[in-house]
Amino acid sequence: MIRGRFITLEGGEGAGKSTQVLRLAAWLEGRGIEAITTREPGGSPGAEAIRTLLVDGATDRWDAVTETMLHFAARRDHLRVTVLPALERGAWVVSDRFADSTRAYQGIVQGAGDDLVERLYAIAVGELRPDLTLVLDLPVEKGLARATERGGENRYERMGRAFHERLRLAFLDIAAADPQRCVVVDADDGPDAVAGRIASVVAERLS
Ligand SMILES: Nc1ncnc2c1ncn2[C@@H]1O[C@H](COP(=O)(O)OP(=O)(O)O)[C@@H](O)[C@H]1O
Ligand SMILES: [Mg+2]
């Protein structure tokens, strides 16, 4: 039985997801809640092996359907090995990306389509949904500048400015279509301010 809560952080490159999953887990721990952080693609040994196929190499190495299937294969392993056992023992799971990234990147921007994403979701994930999804939003140029400063540019970061502009709108559309689950967080601010906004949303939605 699932006793913990499942929180996902979404958004484009450099939005601050990896920074904020750590901040949020620390904030939860400070309130006496056991919290683990994890990431997608990846988060289990098998899924991390699949991750390298997705984040390395030429931008056009996969067609959109193959890429969507690789993400869901990784996601299923991540859920089975990492996420579900944690939720079952009562821990909260804070994930750096989850299925909304597949909806936005592969489904909408890369053109695999919503229908394929939802069919694969039903097969690979089943009934599980995040309890809360925080969509970190900021202007594309600022996100890409942060990512460039961080270094180690990956395959998705190389996909170009127009790709990332469409991606931002895709995440906003996904959030608008599911307001029960998703909250858009203004990420165009310092890390402390963004962490404070996230903590307020979590306190309000999941208290
Ligand atoms: N609110 C912020 N303001 C400025 N820089 C930030 C902020 N949050 C994160 N960063 C820095 O920007 C870069 C990208 O942040 P990161 O958390 O890795 O983003 P993401 O995981 O969404 O790609 C990192 O070098 C990080 O230290
Ligand atoms: Mg990151």
| Residue 62: CATH number of its domain | 3.40.50.300
* pTM, rounded to two decimals: 0.98
Q: Is residue 143 part of a domain?
A: yes
* 79 close to 87: Cβ distance less than 8 angstroms: no
Angle formed by the axes of helices 191-206 and 17-30, nearest 10°: 50
Q: Name the residue of 150, 156, 167 to mutate for ligand 1: max ligand atoms within 8 A of Cβ.
A: 150
Place of tokens 């196929």: 53
> What CA–CA distance (Å, rounded) separates 100 from 117?
10
Query: Is 102 a residue whose pLDDT tops 90?
Result: yes
| pLDDT, position 168 | 98
Q: Is residue 19 part of a domain?
A: yes
| pLDDT, position 1 | 87
> What CA–CA distance (Å, rounded) separates 133 from 130?
6
> What CA–CA distance (Å, rounded) separates 190 from 13?
16
* Ligand 2 center to 41 CA (angstroms): 11
| pLDDT, position 171 | 98
Q: Name the residue of 144, 146, 154, 164 to mutate for ligand 1: max ligand atoms within 8 A of Cβ.
A: 146
> What CA–CA distance (Å, rounded) separates 48 from 108?
24
| pLDDT, position 207 | 83
Domain containing 61: what range? 6-206
